[in-house]
Amino acid sequence: MLRNLKVQIAIALFVLLILGMCSITFVALVLWQKESLLRQTSQIQRSLKNAGRQLETSWDALPPGESFEVVERFFVEESLSCLYLLRDGRVGEAKISCGQPEKMKTLLFQTAGSGETVFQIARPQGLILRKPRFFTASLPLKKQGRIVGSIVVAGPLDTVFSHVFDGKGTLPVYLLVTALLFTTVGFFRMLKIVVRPLEKVVQIADNYRDSSDPASFINPQTGEFAQIAYRLKQMLKRIDTDNRQLRLTVEALQQSNDELKQARNEIVQAEKLASVGRMSAGLAHEVGNPLSIVKGYLELLEQQLAEQDDSVQYVSRAASEVERIEKIIRQLLDCARRPSIELVAVDLGVILEDLVGLFCQKGDNKEIGFQLDRPDVLPSVAADADSLRQVFLNCLLNSVDAVLEGNPEEGKIRVQILEKCTTNGERSLLVIIEDNGPGVDPEALNNLFDPFYTTKQPGKGTGLGLAVSYTLVKQFAGSISVRNREQGGFAVHIQIPVFVE
């Protein structure tokens, strides 16, 4: 695995090391050349000055022929090819193998005339390791401050480079061995730092790949990095697909959890209603019959006391309270019993228009603003007309009581009808009855459908209206929920399925 990559890394490291070491060697040779050239030119200038002092000291005592020997003694390490001496206006020549004698003689007279020391290096044309061929140096000779002659010497500079290029045969071997050594060390370090982790990534990608992954058809000659990139891309696609599937699963689980919560709440509510039903059946039997007898006696007593106004009033009040007890018992029975209701097509809009008009005409509600918002055309719902009317009546009565409890002059009750369509394509009508009253304590919202639970003052409510409404709406296969409005007030949402023939 990744065999081609290892070979490429080894070749790249070797080539880079060779290039780097050649560059370093070249720079070292150039610096060495300059340093050697500087040392030799300084030595030549010192030797020329020392020879000049010697000649100036023994100028009159030395014969012309020995003057050349004095100069040559100071240039033992340098090989002189030219030596010219100007003495008493005459030019003496000891060595003339450097060529260009006229140029040397001219320099000899110029030095004697100007009194300045001249040092020149002839540089050949070239780009790499430009090797100076020879040097030329001249020195005026003075006696008692007067120029009496001059010396010109010239010679090759090959000795500067003789030491540099003595080991030119072993230099390539040294570069090769060093490059191989560093290549080996660098190769194993790259294996540990780069190649081994990449092999693990490729192995992980291969293990993740399933049978439907087309990565098995990759051309192995496309390169390891291309294969890794492709396999990682396929793995990321699979991960993205798994993430989308996971999100769908989580959403489905969340929906199922919500449905389970709703079913649990319905079961709890049904158990509560069943308990109330069992209690109501016994209560209606044990209390209903005595109440009927009491009511009959009150009617007889009212007939006999027709002429006594005060007594008739007391009897009438007692009869109204008995009727109130009977009403509570009937509500208990309605809440507990589940009579078989035939679901027929009911015009929900007509029922709400009739109820809203009825509340608008009632004297206590004239200060309250009623509003009914509905589409011009509405489908019929599957329900029982009388039962549905009772549900809306209970909700409107609760809204009126809430508004009257707050500020009746600014009280508003709005009834809104909306057509809904579920994800399954089932249509239904949503009725929203909302008011701008004080609302309900959030902690009490979950208990509003419990029998006998009420937020009204004692004596103003039995706590059975919403419980009965809940039972009736469930018989229509609908739903009913309550909530506080964000802008203040209370709202009841009632959703009834559309009638399907």
Please give the mean pLDDT across all residues of the chain. 77
Predicted pLDDT of residue 414: 92
Predicted pLDDT of residue 449: 76
What is the per-residue pLDDT across 113-126, written as a single tens digit (0 to 9) for each?
888 888 887 765 44
Tokens representing residue 265 in the block? 């709440």
Tell which wins on pLDDT, 415 or 169: 415
The answer to whether 150 and 139 have CB atoms below 8 angstroms apart is yes
Report residue 3's pLDDT band, with 50, 70 and 90 as the boundaries. low
Q: Is the pLDDT of residue 79 over 50?
A: yes
- In 88-190 the beta strands, taken as DSSP E runs, fall at 90-96, 118-122, 134-143, 146-156
Non-local (6+) Cβ contacts of 353 within 8 A are 372
Predicted pLDDT of residue 453: 72
Rounded Cα–Cα distance for residues 80 and 154 (Å): 6
Tokens 């697909």 sit on residue: 241
Q: Is the pLDDT of residue 221 over 60?
A: no
- The domains of the chain, with CATH numbers, are 1-177 (3.30.450.20), 233-337 (1.10.287.130), 339-497 (3.30.565.10)
Q: Is the pLDDT of residue 108 over 80?
A: yes
User: Cα angle at 67 between 63 and 70, to 5 degrees?
Assistant: 135
Q: Is the pLDDT of residue 235 over 60?
A: yes
Q: How many CB atoms lie within 10 A of CB 6?
A: 15
Tokens representing residue 162 in the block? 């003789």
Rounded Cα–Cα distance for residues 283 and 309 (Å): 34
Predicted pLDDT of residue 216: 47
- Mean pLDDT for the stretch of residues 139-149: 83
Predicted pLDDT of residue 459: 56
Predicted pLDDT of residue 32: 79
Q: End-to-end alpha-carbon separation of the chain, Å?
A: 70
Secondary structure of 294-346 in the HEC alphabet?
HHHHHHHHHHHCCCCHHHHHHHHHHHHHHHHHHHHHHHHHHHHCCCCCCCEEE
Range of lowest pLDDT (283-292, 361-370, 397-406, 450-459):
283-292
Range of lowest pLDDT (161-165, 190-194, 244-248, 410-414):
161-165
What is the per-residue pLDDT across 182-206, written as a single tens digit (0 to 9) for each?
878 887 777 777 777 777 766 666 6
Q: Is the pLDDT of residue 497 over 90?
A: yes
- Mean pLDDT for the stretch of residues 102-118: 84
Report residue 440's pLDDT band, with 50, 70 and 90 as the boundaries. confident
Predicted pLDDT of residue 92: 76
Predicted pLDDT of residue 284: 60
Report residue 273's pLDDT band, with 50, 70 and 90 as the boundaries. low
Q: Is the pLDDT of residue 357 over 80?
A: yes
